[in-house]
Chain A
Amino acid sequence: DVKVTQSSRYLVKRTGEKVFLECVQDMDHENMFWYRQDPGLGLRLIYFSYDVKMKEKGDIPEGYSVSREKKERFSLILESASTNQTSMYLCASRFPDRGRTEAFFGQGTRLTVV
């Protein structure tokens, strides 16, 4: 079974802090994704990566950066957390099969910025 693991289920951080959200997958997937989930808005893509050290901006990259130094690990970084970044963050991975394959998701990290 594919396993996507996010390092924390719940996080509380202060405004202005630098925040790291970690995601690890164990199925050798090339593609990895970070989504943000807010009520009524569904999942919005922040960044994705299609290989080590490769990344592409999604629909809402402002205020975020990412790092992919190893194939299995994809980190989301909030450079200076703000209260409007309070949200549920979901990591996903999948094989690059021209859109055919489903994505596998982690359990989510609920981040609260105070």
Chain B
Amino acid sequence: AQKVTQAQTEISVVEKEDVTLDCVYETRDTTYYLFWYKQPPSGELVFLIRRNSFDEQNEISGRYSWNFQKSTSSFNFTITASQVVDSAVYFCALSEKTSYDKVIFGPGTSLSVIP
């Protein structure tokens, strides 16, 4: 069965610290897609990144970076030099090729960046 686990419920960091949000997934498919979304206090989920199961290259986008490791079924998200605007709930999600209409979300990690 497909499942997404985000073990960290809440994280607080002081501004400019680095922070890593963990995501572990379970799937039986060989083709699948992983996503990260950000939900700021305004409520609307914002797409951050997509990774397919055949591409294990890590990605960096500004202060954001993602580490995808199939061997450990993990897709972790790191924010470097955190800012107050990074305060949000972050969701990791999984979509399988065989059940592509469904996107399974993790429970989310609430990040608070303290000035």
Residues of B within 8 A of A110 (CB): 43
Chain B interface residue number, banded: 20 to 34
Is the beta-carbon distance between A100 and B33 smaller than 8 angstroms?
A: yes
Is the beta-carbon distance between A42 and B43 smaller than 8 angstroms?
A: no
Is the beta-carbon distance between A107 and B44 smaller than 8 angstroms?
A: yes
Is the beta-carbon distance between A108 and B100 smaller than 8 angstroms?
A: no
Known: A42-B106, A45-B102. A99 touches B95 (CB 8 A): yes
CB of A61 closer than 8 Å to a CB of B: no
Is the beta-carbon distance between A99 and B97 smaller than 8 angstroms?
A: yes
Known: A96-B100, A99-B95, A99-B100. A42 touches B47 (CB 8 A): no
Which of B35, B50, B91, B99 is the one whose CB lies under 8 Å from A42? B91
Is the beta-carbon distance between A103 and B107 smaller than 8 angstroms?
A: no
CB of B7 closer than 8 Å to a CB of A: no
Residues of B within 8 A of A98 (CB): 97, 100
Q: Which of A31, A43, A98, A105 has the most CB of B within 10 A?
A: A43
* Additional A-B contacts beyond A42-B108, A45-B103, A88-B43 (6; CB < 8 A): A40-B9, A42-B91, A56-B101, A92-B45, A99-B100, A102-B47
B residues adjacent to A (C-beta < 8 A): 4, 6, 9, 31-33, 35, 37, 42-47, 50, 52, 91, 95-97, 99-108
